């Protein structure tokens, strides 16, 4: 009997979409299904004007206030309708070709830009493949994520569930599960000390995992206070494949034990080995941190899209915002004082929010839809 085949539509706009796609794909493969992860935006059928707009994402996100303004403007009813109409027309051929090449038994979309083209295709071409949409932001969720073409829309929080109903989805078509993180996150059984020893880090120091990328600003500057603090901590710096940040890491004189990586596929292992994660408020990095039960110190936010992620963490006591070297050092000092009492509390709160098996739960939903279609 042939294995069922699932097509996952992903995007390069933000690391969270790709990581969510890989997480779901891994869970589906564990369940015995074949998986193809595809990005229709890279196909020749996609108009160059769209590719040029998407290539500006990184630059736009760094301009204070600009991305937030564009995001909020696009989230109005009229703008959303216009964007969906444009996407439906311009992306339809690329999405159609992707589907025709893969001949899937089900489709999972981890980006809202594919939903309008899918709806257009289903109306014109008569496709009947079940569709699952997986939202990759915690609470600040664009209305274009909520499209009736999806058989099931996966949301991460109560806020996401309420938004789905507000924007017209029926409750039977919405599931609150969480943002999918890689299944490996739920498999680690070693203690942090054992993992550190295996990684050749210092075994008994409080470990700060710093996750950067081309979209994180002022990261090295915000670590300056910690670097000169003489705290009993060690730094693990990951540049996320950004060469400029990696060179900045390498060119800085660190006064604490420090490990520097340009890129790693061991983030799950690194997180389990750490005590605190320092990064921006991206949906995926926040979800991975919570799934590992680690508190997160947020040093950067893409206003608009990521604001809700930061609010969710802070309001639930799983982390803090800190945008200056003094704020970062002060927050960390408070977490570590009194034998780490506050750090333990933040970790407990983080674990309560984490959804380490979200990808498995989503895989089960996809399988059920295939079985009943």
Helix (H) or strand (E) holding 206: strand 206-211
Supply the pLDDT for residue 65: 55
Q: How confident is the model at residue 284 (pLDDT cuts 50, 70, 90)?
A: confident
- 194/136 same-domain check: no
98 and 46: one domain? yes
CA distance 258 to 249: 10
CA dist 43 and 140 (Å) reads 29
Residue 195 has pLDDT above 70, yes or no: yes
Give pLDDT, residue 14: 63
The DSSP letter of residue 260 is E
Contact 250, 239 (CB under 8 A): no
Claim to verify: residue 316 and residue 234 sit in the same structural domain: yes
Mean pLDDT, residues 84-101 taken together = 90
For residues 339 and 256, give the distance between their C-alpha atoms in angstroms, rounded to a whole number: 20
The pLDDT tens digits for 312-347 are: 999 999 999 999 999 999 999 999 999 999 999 999
Tokens encoding 139 = 């609470």
Query: Same domain, yes or no, for 191 and 237?
Result: yes
Q: Three-state SS for 209? A: strand
**Residues 97 and 153 grouped into a single domain:** yes
3-state SS track over 20-85: HHHHHHHHHHHCCCEEEEECHHHCCCCCHHHHHHHHCHHHHHHCCCHHHHHHHHHCCHHHHHHHHH
Helix residue ranges, H only, the chain = 15-30, 48-55, 57-62, 66-74, 77-90, 92-102, 115-125, 158-166, 192-199, 219-222, 224-227, 243-251, 267-273, 283-291, 307-315, 325-353, 358-372
Share of the chain above pLDDT 70, in %: 93
Q: Residue 51's pLDDT is what?
A: 65
Say whether both 222 and 265 belong to one domain: yes
| Parallel/antiparallel/unpaired status of strands 296-300 and 276-280 | parallel
pLDDT of 125 > 80? The answer is no
CA distance 306 to 222: 19
Judgement on whether residues 149 and 227 belong to the same structural domain of the protein: no
Of the candidates 330, 326, 315, the residue with the CA atom closest to the CA atom of residue 138: 315
Whether the per-residue pLDDT at 60 is higher than 70: the answer is no
Q: pLDDT digit string (tens) for 199-231? A: 999 999 999 999 998 778 889 999 999 999 989
pLDDT at 311 over 80: yes
pTM to 2 decimals? 0.85
Q: pLDDT confidence of 26, banded at 50, 70, 90?
A: very high
Q: Are residues 256 and 221 in the same domain?
A: yes
**Which has the minimum average pLDDT: 100-109, 276-285, 315-324, 328-337?**
276-285
Domain co-membership, 188 together with 177 = no
- Provide CB contacts within 8 A for 31, sequence distance 6+: 363, 364, 367
Helix pair angle (358-372, 15-30), 10° resolution: 60
Question: Are residues 204 and 103 both part of a single domain?
Answer: no
Q: Which residues contact 372 (CB under 8 A, 6 or more apart)?
A: none
**Distance (Å, whole) CA 154 – CA 156:** 7
Percent pLDDT > 90 in the chain is 67
Domain count, the chain: 2
295 and 207 in contact (C-beta within 8 Å)?
Answer: no
CB 84 within 8 A of CB 142: no
Domain that holds residue 256: 184-353
Q: Are residues 147 and 205 in the same domain?
A: no
Question: How high is the pLDDT of residue 124?
Answer: 82
pLDDT at 237 over 80: yes
Q: How far apart are the first and last CA of the chain?
A: 17
HSE-up of residue 255 (Cα within 13 Å, Cβ side): 9
Q: Specify the CATH number for the domain of residue 330.
A: 3.40.50.2000
State the average pLDDT over residues 252-267. 94
What pLDDT was estimated at residue 199? 96
3-class state of residue 103 by DSSP: coil
Give the pLDDT score at 348: 96
pLDDT digits (tens, 9 = 90+) for 135-171: 998 888 889 999 999 999 999 999 999 999 999 999 9
**Average pLDDT over the chain, rounded to whole?**
90
Do 113 and 229 fall into the same domain?
no
**In the block, residue with structure tokens 């939202």:** 135
Kindly tell me if the per-residue pLDDT of 58 is higher than 60: no
């Amino acid at each position: 009997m042939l294995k069922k085949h699932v097509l996952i539509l992903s995007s390069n706009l933000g690391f969270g979409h790709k990581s969510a796609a890989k997480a779901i794909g891994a869970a589906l493969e564990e369940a015995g299904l074949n998986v193809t992860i595809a990005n229709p935006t890279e196909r020749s059928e996609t108009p160059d004007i769209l590719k040029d707009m998407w290539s500006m994402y990184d630059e736009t996100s760094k301009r204070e206030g600009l991305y937030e303004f564009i995001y909020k403007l696009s989230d109005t009813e009229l703008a959303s309708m216009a964007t969906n109409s444009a996407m439906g027309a311009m992306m339809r051929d690329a999405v159609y070709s992707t589907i025709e090449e893969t001949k899937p038994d089900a489709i999972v979309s981890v980006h809202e830009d594919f939903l309008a083209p899918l709806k257009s295709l289903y109306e014109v071409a008569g496709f009947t493949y079940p569709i699952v949409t997986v939202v990759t932001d915690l609470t600040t969720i664009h209305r274009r994520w909520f499209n009736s073409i999806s058989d099931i829309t996966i949301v991460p929080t109560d806020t996401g569930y309420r938004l789905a109903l507000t924007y017209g989805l029926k409750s039977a078509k919405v599931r609150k599960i969480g943002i999918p993180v890689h299944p490996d996150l739920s498999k680690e059984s070693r203690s942090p000390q054992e993992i550190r020893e295996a990684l050749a880090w210092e075994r008994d120091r409080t470990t700060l995992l710093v996750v950067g990328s081309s979209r994180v600003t002022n990261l090295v500057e915000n670590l300056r206070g910690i670097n000169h603090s003489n705290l009993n901590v060690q730094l693990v710096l990951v540049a996320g494949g950004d060469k400029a940040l990696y060179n900045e890491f390498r060119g800085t004189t660190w006064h604490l034990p420090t490990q520097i990586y340009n890129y790693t596929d061991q983030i799950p292992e690194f997180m389990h080995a750490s005590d605190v994660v320092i990064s921006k408020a991206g949906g995926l990095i926040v979800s991975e941190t919570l799934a590992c039960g680690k508190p997160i110190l947020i040093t950067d936010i893409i206003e608009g899209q990521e604001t809700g992620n930061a609010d969710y963490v802070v309001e639930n006591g799983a982390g803090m915002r800190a945008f200056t070297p003094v704020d970062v050092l002060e927050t960390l000092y408070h977490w570590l004082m009194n034998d780490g009492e506050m750090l333990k509390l933040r970790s407990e709160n983080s674990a309560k929010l984490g959804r380490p098996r979200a990808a498995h739960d989503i895989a089960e939903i996809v399988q059920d839809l295939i079985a009943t279609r």
